[in-house]
Amino acid sequence: MTTEPIKDWATDYDIFDPEYIKDPYPVWDELRGKCPIAHTERWGSSWMPTKHADVYAIAQDVEHFSSANPLVVPVVPPEGFEQTGDDQRFLGVGAPPISSDGYEHTWTRRLLLPPFSLKSMEKWIPVTRAHCRSLIDGFIENGRADAAADYAQQIPPYVIAKMLGIPSEMSGTFTQWVQEFLEFGLQNFAMASEARNKILTFLWQQITEKKKNPGDDLISYLVQADVDGEPVPDQHVLGTCFLLLVAGIDTTWSSIGSALWHLAQHPEDRARLVAEPELMDTGVEELLRAYAPVTMARVLTEDYEYNGCKMAAGDKVLMSFPAANRDPERFKDPDKVIIDRAENPHIAFGAGIHRCAGSNLARMEMRVALQEWLARIPDFRLEDPENVTWAGGQVRGPRSMPVVFG
Amino acid sequence: MRIKVDNDKCQGHNRCITVAQELFDLDEYGYSHEKQDGAVPKELEEKARLAVANCPERAIKIVSD
């Protein structure tokens, strides 16, 4: 892994650079002005479009831009890495439909959409609300909390565990596994590989159990589903469960955390959301736009020139949805957070056929988390803005964020 | 005013139904379509415009009567 200083963001960008993770916005502004599709060789050849028009166009062009691997760093074992039995056992397990193209994408996605529909989310609102309330009960008397670690981080793993029908007491373990796989693991193959094996082994046990004793939960739904009259292959059920666990945790935790980070520093926005609760819908969309956490990758299927960039087969493209959402050509005053922004066609959940399948869940969790927090803690501030730590790479959000109430 | 959802473009973001639930229905997968024949009553024209403006896929069009 290169750790050399960045020579030029246009030709040598580094999404793991600590300063970029803390504040990526000036970098995107500069790139949009002089070289809107940046390039780097840091993890093999990859490109990063920063204009909405380019991110959007590439998201629609699934013929040239495959989703076969949504991670930018190549998954290559380091020299001397010895495969374990589990590595071999889980070799072909993907994460459908996020890692699928073509027909496989179509049917695996159709399988997943009904349980994540707007209507299906209604049943999880009270579960989420009760959980948020109990989290707040745990720290409100202290007059302070870590809004990222004690609150934002605790919500998505609990809800997805409930949905999958697996013990919610395991939430902390899931969070740790997902961080090892996706956050620290992006730059540490052995750690990622071990975490992946732990998650898959656990899920496989759960799937085997649900086959014998199905319940009213997502894993049971998947093992009992049929596609064109055929049961869903075990490998797909496993891969999809893996996706649900991995994709649903640090993403939403990051959006809730970033939303609280913004509100901690903007009393006027807090006051408006408290006084005018009907603004929560536009408020959530605006916070999603301004602090979109997720940047997925695409892989070039063949040599292809896009907008003057000569991309080669196998090159990656980093779909910077967060940069697209700050493009002044698409959004008026993009760096201003306007809680009641009426026109906001943001692409925090991506665009095209890979639009985040969990977007309704993420929105619900965000809305409930902010409603409950503001109802009990309408006034709060960052203890020390310099002490907030951020995770970056392909999912950006605060990981430690001490706040003081009142 | 009349609206039309382009089914090839809609990806189920569900922004339209949040902005203007009177004008859209979703199928079981979350893809949107205009209610009935897409006719927009006068009092909902502003909501229809907002649905168009908030669609990330530019999938909703206002078509003339």
Q: List, for residues B7-65, the tens digit of each pLDDT value.
A: 999 999 999 999 999 999 999 999 999 998 999 999 999 999 999 999 999 999 999 76
pLDDT of residue A1: 47
Q: List, for residues A119-146, the tens digit of each pLDDT value.
A: 999 999 999 999 999 999 999 999 999 9
B-facing residues of A in 253-312 (CB < 8 A) are: 281, 285
| Domain count across chain B | 1
CATH at B22: 3.30.70.20
pLDDT at A2 over 70: no
Task: Find the residue in B nearest to A321 (Cα).
Answer: B56
Cβ contacts of B26 on chain A, cutoff 8 Å? 117-119
Q: Domain of A396?
A: 9-405
* Helix (H), strand (E) counts: chain A: 18, 14
Q: CA A321 to CA A309: how far, in whole Å?
A: 19
Q: Domain of B56?
A: 2-63
Does any CB of chain B come closer than 8 Å to the CB of residue A113? yes
Q: List, for residues A98-126, the tens digit of each pLDDT value.
A: 889 998 899 999 999 999 999 999 999 99
CATH at A291: 1.10.630.10
| Domain count across chain A | 1
Dump the DSSP string for A103-168: HHHHHHHHHHTGGGSHHHHGGGHHHHHHHHHHHHHHHGGGTEEEIIIIIGGGHHHHHHHHHHTS-G
Best residue in A62, A349, A361, A363 for a mutation probing chain B (most B CBs within 10 Å): A349
Position A83, amino acid? Q
Q: CA A155 to CA A248: how far, in whole Å?
A: 10
Dump the DSSP string for A162-217: HHHTS-GGGHHHHHHHHIIIIISGGG-HHHHHHHHHHHHHHHHHHHHHHHHS--SS
Residue whose token pair is 């939430």: A171
Examine residue A3 and state whether it is found in any structural domain, yes or no.
Answer: no
Segment A66-78 shows an average pLDDT of: 83
| Bridge partners (DSSP) listed for residue A46 | A40, A316
Examine residue A2 and state whether it is found in any structural domain, yes or no.
Answer: no
Chain A closest CA to B46's CA: distance in Å? 11
Examine residue A275 and state whether it is found in any structural domain, yes or no.
Answer: yes
Cβ contact, residue pair B30, A353, below 8 Å: no
**Picking from A60-74, A171-185, A283-297, B30-44, which range would have the lowest pLDDT averaged per residue?**
A171-185
